[in-house]
């Protein structure tokens, strides 16, 4: 790795140390389906978002609920105290496309149709409400 690239990588790592997040890699759900659930909770207070995810009928909501609990636990560990109601909110959540499994399905007249089994990566950031209020 070149010196310039290493310096920028170190800056990125230092910036992530001040943020509270959780990542979920290689989820075997299409990114489009996961984004529907992510859009439901984006910007919400975390305990309200947990309730929404718990009672959502989508399959992706169970995975996202577990990820949100992990992000809350990461925040609690870094701050060495418990999260209180109304204190934390989901500041950022994004869903990126991951590796795609390509399969062939038999089709008429000796042809084969390509089946793409998609997967995704989800990154969820939580932040405190008071920290956000000071910036405005």
Residue pLDDT, tens place only, 56-101: 999 999 999 999 999 999 999 999 899 888 889 999 999 999 999 9
d(C-alpha 111, C-alpha 47), whole Å? 51
**Tens of pLDDT along 7-40?**
999 999 998 888 999 999 999 999 999 999 999 9
User: Domains (ranges, CATH) in the chain?
Assistant: 21-135 (3.90.470.10)
Nearest to 105 by CA among 117, 113, 93, 97: 113
**Could you tell me the pTM of the whole model?**
0.86
Query: 74 and 58 in contact (C-beta within 8 Å)?
Result: no
Q: What angle in degrees, to the nearest 10, is found between the helix axes of 31-41 and 60-79? A: 50
């Amino acid at each position: 790795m070149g010196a310039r690239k290493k310096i920028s990588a170190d800056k990125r790592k230092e910036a992530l140390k001040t943020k509270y997040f959780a990542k979920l890699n290689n989820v075997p759900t299409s990114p489009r389906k996961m984004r529907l659930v992510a859009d439901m909770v984006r910007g919400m207070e975390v305990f309200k978002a947990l309730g929404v995810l718990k009672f959502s009928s989508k399959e992706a909501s169970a995975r996202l609920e577990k990820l949100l609990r992990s992000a809350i636990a990461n925040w609690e560990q870094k701050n060495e105290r418990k999260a209180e109601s109304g204190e934390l909110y989901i500041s950022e959540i994004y869903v990126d496309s991951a590796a795609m499994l390509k399969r062939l399905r038999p089709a008429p007249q000796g042809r084969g149709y390509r089946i793409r089994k998609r997967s995704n990566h989800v990154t969820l950031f939580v932040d405190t409400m008071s920290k956000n209020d000071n910036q405005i």
